[in-house]
Structure 1
Amino acid sequence: MTEDSPGDGRGDGPGGGARRERPAGDWRELNRENWDDRVRVHAASAFYDLPGFRAGASTLRPFERAELGEVAGRRLLHLQCHMGQDTLSWARLGAEVTGLDFSAPAIAQARALARDTGLADRSRFVVGDVYEAQDALPGESFDIVYTGLGALVWLPELPRWARIVAGLLAPGGVLYLAEFHPLSDLLGEDGRSVEVDYFAEEPRREDYPHTYTDGPPLEKTRHVEFPHSLGEVVTSLARAGLRIEFLHEHPETLFPRYPVLRRTPEGTYVFPPGHPRVPLMFSLRAAKPAAG
């Protein structure tokens, strides 16, 4: 698969959907090194709790299981699967799963986790970049393509991503996406004031010594993130030929991103009563037309 040009997305202006992308030249290698380094920290962290997962815990959110529905016997591809916990959680529900990630250490950890949990017979993990997924999985198609929380910010070109997703889906198959809402990136630490431009297009180059979990500092601290509006996500998928079945916005998130957030009995975090709210996560389901 050849690289699309940075300007491949047809621009509609701010917030209009598939805007012109400007990838940072070395973004892929910086991000791969950063994520390779994160694996050693994440695997030992309380945040990921691999012992608990081995004992039978699921990492899927209740709304994900409800919105995607029955997966038993269906072929599911998880793009950007990291260490495979979400992937294997779908396998525990009966799906035949494939996880793909560009980090070889993450895939090694996922394969070990599959063996440890007795799920190796219904799971497969492949090292590969999202933009080269069709080369990594030649001629294959899936009933479900799943992308989980925190994935899209690492991709510079959503129109290209959407076309790849459409190409990997079997006729009648569905994309199910659960993500952090882009509005949640705009607020300051008080959870009330807007401090970031929603329509910013420039990649964010970061140099930060820690990952988002507990654990020791990273050695590879630099990475590049790419902001995307909600309109860009939806428009990219629609232009790839997928039909949007729903877009749900959720008032909770997975961690206390702002000090004002309060933990619920279910273990998520929400704004307290009386505090102005913005959506913190969203979920989307899009279908590929059936053959004929």
Structure 2
Amino acid sequence: MNKDDWRGRWREANKASWDERVPIHVGGDFYGVEGFKAGEEHLRPFELEEMGDVSGKDLLHLQCHFGKDTLSWARRGARVTGLDFSAPAIEAARNLASELGVDAEFVRSDVYEAREALGGRTFDVVYTGLGALNWLPDIERWAGVAAGLVRPGGFLYLPEFHPFTNVFGDDDLTVEHDYFHKEEPDVWDEPGTYADLGAETANNITYEWKHTLSDVVTALIQSGLTLEFLHEHDYTLFPRWPILEKTGFDTFKLPENSPRIPLMYSLLARKPR
């Protein structure tokens, strides 16, 4: 691949992949949509503790996919807006909100154009993450956009998969990859989806980027936000390696006698008044 080839194609390739996978995710077992409809709580315990009471707050969920987490915060009393670049995802989110009778707004937009798409509005809470940042080539630009959406006194909350896990291969904890950021993307050609490895799919080319923990934290600080905490967690939401053991609805951990390593992290960064 020529050095600059990805620049004109990454967004449309990634969008085509996500567009195709929306119905697989909505209709499959991985996301537990039927249980969610029945009232199950699918937000992670650490998120509920770290975010605190969101009732009455304006909450924006960037890269919201089909809106399940967005609507989870609405159930907890937030006035929610979800944003995603996939038209099928936004349609599915609106349908899910209607079926549940939950008041929510969903907007189709690339995350880098979020401020324009939202008409310059700002929010008490900007929520994003859990497999979102790896799809973005420019983390500094993302941080600037996200910070611009937070109103004074409000905060950005980010739970995300820990970039340290990217150094390992797919089969076990053998170190195979570089940890540090590189400008060029990793280009994948893989059928199926993390939610259904055997799903038949046609749009299988995707572009992803590695962003270290310091990349993310520094970008947010330089955007004008103040970091209040950074926490690391010893479980993840999918079977990243075959050795992981399922310990809850979407909780996967290393075996009990294994050394613990960080599999996810979460941070909160506030905009000064």
**TM-score, normalisation: structure 2:** 0.94
What are structure 2's unaligned runs of at least 5 residues? Answer: none
Mapped contact 2:181–2:212 kept (Cα < 8 A): no
Deviation at 1:267? 5.1
Residue 253 of structure 2 corresponds to residue 270 of structure 1: yes
Cα distance in structure 1, aligned partners of 2:132 and 2:265: 13
- Matched with 2:179 is 198
- Matched with 1:53 is 36
- Matched with 1:12 is none
Cα distance in structure 2, aligned partners of 1:172 and 1:181: 27
> How many residues get paired?
268
Cα distance in structure 2, aligned partners of 1:23 and 1:286: 31
The 1:266–1:126 alpha-carbon spacing in structure 2 relative to 1, beyond 3 Å, is: closer
Percent of aligned positions with the same letter in both sequences? 55
Mapped contact 1:78–1:146 kept (Cα < 8 A): yes
Cα distance in structure 1, aligned partners of 2:262 and 2:74: 29
Residue 142 of structure 2 corresponds to residue 174 of structure 1: no
Mapped contact 2:228–2:268 kept (Cα < 8 A): yes
1:207 to 186, 189, 193: 189
Cα distance in structure 1, aligned partners of 2:55 and 2:161: 26
Cα distance in structure 2, aligned partners of 1:279 and 1:163: 27
- Matched with 1:148 is 129
Q: How does 1:1-292 map to 2 (within 5 A)?
A: 24-119=7-102, 121=103, 123-201=104-182, 202-214=184-196, 216-264=199-247, 268-290=251-273
Q: Name the SS of the counterpart of 1:78 in structure 2.
A: strand
The 1:265–1:205 alpha-carbon spacing in structure 2 relative to 1, beyond 3 Å, is: closer
- Matched with 1:16 is none
Deviation at 1:283? 0.2
Q: Name the SS of the counterpart of 2:80 in structure 1.
A: strand
Residue type of the alignment partner of 1:191: D
Where has structure 1 moved over 4 Å in runs of 4 or more? none
Cα distance in structure 1, aligned partners of 2:38 and 2:231: 31
What are structure 1's unaligned runs of at least 5 residues? Answer: 1-20
Q: Name the SS of the counterpart of 1:58 in structure 2.
A: coil
- Matched with 1:18 is none
Residue type of the alignment partner of 1:204: D
Mapped contact 1:24–1:203 kept (Cα < 8 A): no
Deviation at 1:266? 6.6
Higher RCO, 1 or 2 (CA under 8 Å, sep at least 6)? 1
Residue type of the alignment partner of 2:134: V
Mapped contact 2:181–2:209 kept (Cα < 8 A): no
Please identify, of 176-185 and 265-274, the stretch whose mean Cα deviation from structure 2 is larger. 265-274
Q: Deviations over 1:237-259 (max 9, x none)?
A: 00000000000000011122112
Q: Deviations over 1:58-111 (max 9, x none)?
A: 321010010010000000000000000000000000000000000000000000
Residue type of the alignment partner of 2:9: D
